[in-house]
Amino acid sequence: MKSKILMSLLALSFAGFTGAASATTIYFNSTECPTCSNGSNVVGNEWSSFGISVSNAYWYTDGRDTFDTMGLSVSPTPGIITLSSVSNGATIDYWVISGHRGVYEAFDLAHVSLGSLAVDASSGDVLGTHSFLGAVASIEWTGSTGYSQISTLTISAVPEPETYAMLLAGLGLLGFAARRRQQNV
């Protein structure tokens, strides 16, 4: 019975930790931006409800983009996605059109690079997914205007302080139960 209680306390402490923070995925589609039209420059605040602003990009639709046929294209370079609050990592779906190159890079608040991805599509379209780790504050991408795209952005949430408090409380209860169990043996 005591081991069941102990395991229940452990499960509750980790359930509270993992359940509080979730990721946000932005598809850059016409549902999220009903005012966007193919080839139109974005003004920056179209996705503010998702906690980002966009500059130096235009919205596109193209059937060759097999992720979802819509996204952001660099114009002029670099295209910049700025997060309203720092993320605990970010993942992009990218597309570079045949005959071109694109570079995607994530930065922290001090504009220090957290990593980059160079894509060479000289022999055909290249589509892929790439994750940036660390305290992401912005993502920039460069390439020939209209040939380097971001189709989807997933922002990893940073756990709230209450989440850590719940984890510590659960672990404290777990320690208390284990200590009490040792005293009764």
> What is the rounded average pLDDT for all residues in the chain?
85
- How many domains does the chain divide into? 2
**Residue 173 predicted with pLDDT over 70:** yes
d(C-alpha 132, C-alpha 139), whole Å:
9
Q: Within this chain, do residues 184 and 128 fall inside the same structural domain, yes or no? A: no
* Domain match, 58 and 112 both: yes
pLDDT of residue 18: 47
Amino acid at 159: P
pLDDT digit string, tens, across residues 66-76 = 888 899 999 87
133 and 55 in a common domain: yes
- Full domain range(s) for residue 59: 23-158
Sheet holding 113-120, edge to edge: 52-55, 79-87, 136-143, 101-107, 113-120
Contact 10, 174 (CB under 8 A): yes
CATH code at position 67: 2.60.120
The verdict on 7 and 80 lying in the same domain is no
Residues 50, 114, single domain; the answer is yes
Instruction: Specify the pLDDT at position 4.
Output: 57
Q: How confident is the model at residue 1 (pLDDT cuts 50, 70, 90)?
A: low
Asked if residue 76 and residue 7 are part of one domain, the reply reads no
* pLDDT at 7 (0 to 100): 54
- The answer to whether 40 touches 25, Cβ cutoff 8 Å, is no
Please answer whether residues 102 and 94 qualify as being in contact, where contact means their C-beta atoms are separated by less than 8 angstroms: yes
Residue 172 CB neighbour total at 10 angstroms? 12
Q: What is the pTM of this model?
A: 0.76
Answer whether 103's CB lies under 8 Å from 139's CB. no
Whether residues 154 and 166 fall in one domain: no
40-96 pLDDT, tens per residue? Answer: 899 889 999 999 999 999 999 988 888 888 999 998 789 999 999 999 999 999 999
Identify whether residues 40 and 107 lie together within a single domain. yes
Q: According to the model, what pLDDT value does residue 68 have? A: 82
